[in-house]
Amino acid sequence: MTLAQIVQQSDRILFFGGAGVSTESGIPDFRSQDGLYQMKYAYPPETILSSDFFYAHTQEFYKFYREKMLALTAKPNAAHYKLAQWEEAGKLSAVVTQNIDGLHQRAGSKRVYELHGSVHRNYCLSCGRAYSAEDIAKGEGVPRCSCGGLVKPDVVLYGEPLSEPVVCGAIEAIARADTLIVAGTSLTVYPAAAFLDYFRGKHLVLINRDPTPLDGKCELVLRGKVGEILSEL
């Protein structure tokens, strides 16, 4: 079956996405040739984006984070808009994303499970006061709350647990889906990649520029750009 035929006969599609869904919006992914993890920094980016590094080298963390993670000028692309349309039309039940850029919500998606959090939520670690991504972007150095506390992005750093309610919601949505479309992810980061094992539905589709460990188990593997492919539907 073609993707169009599968979409046509589905009414509980679950879209599971990664950084490759936002590269067509100008946000580099992590592990591709031109990805973030291939770029040279004083420390490996996976180290900088860890909980230990955040607390031990907060200034250095925020320098990298403002430069590389806060893509506030990025706009949703055709993939984000198509998914929001499918949700509106009652074909898609939810998006589960590993991305923290908030572009699905910007495109109009309502049910989005952000497994790794979002740059748009930032909290004072002392009093819990909330700050926007813009507050973080316009500041310099280590962002401090009016109470003096340290402000931290609501982003899952390496070594931190995922949010329980988000994980439960995502797994429930994956388990209930009739079609699972996995796109723009190398499926190399756990536990996120393991959540796909809960899928019990009929059609498993993968849209990814490079091969992934899931390719052999899919009914349909589309090797290409997810924004382009979805915009043709």
Question: Is 144 a binder of Zn ion (CB under 5 A)?
Answer: no
* Shortest CB 171 distance to ligand APR, Å: 17
- Bridge-partner residues for 17, per DSSP? 97, 183
Q: What, of ligand APR, Zn ion, none, does residue 102 touch, CB below 5 to 8 Å by kind? A: none
Q: Which is nearer to ligand APR, 173 or 183 (CB)?
A: 183
Q: Which of 35, 149, 169, 201 binds ligand APR (CB under 6 A)?
A: 35
Assigned token pair, 135: 């507050």
Residue that is written with structure tokens 């230990």 in the block: 52
Q: Which of 14, 124, 157, 174 binds Zn ion (CB under 5 A)?
A: 124
Q: Which residues of 70-105 are buried (b: 16+ CB within 10 A; e: fewer)?
A: bbeebebbbbbbbbbbbbeeebbbbbbbbbbbbbbb
Give the angle subtended at the CA of 52 by the CAs of 166 and 149, to the nearest 5°.
80
Q: What, of ligand APR, Zn ion, none, does residue 20 touch, CB below 5 to 8 Å by kind? A: ligand APR
Q: Which of 80, 104, 116, 120 is catalytic?
A: 116
C-alpha distances out from residue 133 to 24, 85, 102, 152, Å? 21, 26, 11, 11
104 is catalytic: no
Question: Is 210 a binder of ligand APR (CB under 6 A)?
Answer: yes
Residues engaged in binding ligand APR (CB under 6 A): 18-20, 23-24, 29-32, 35, 98, 116, 184-186, 188-189, 207-210, 225-227
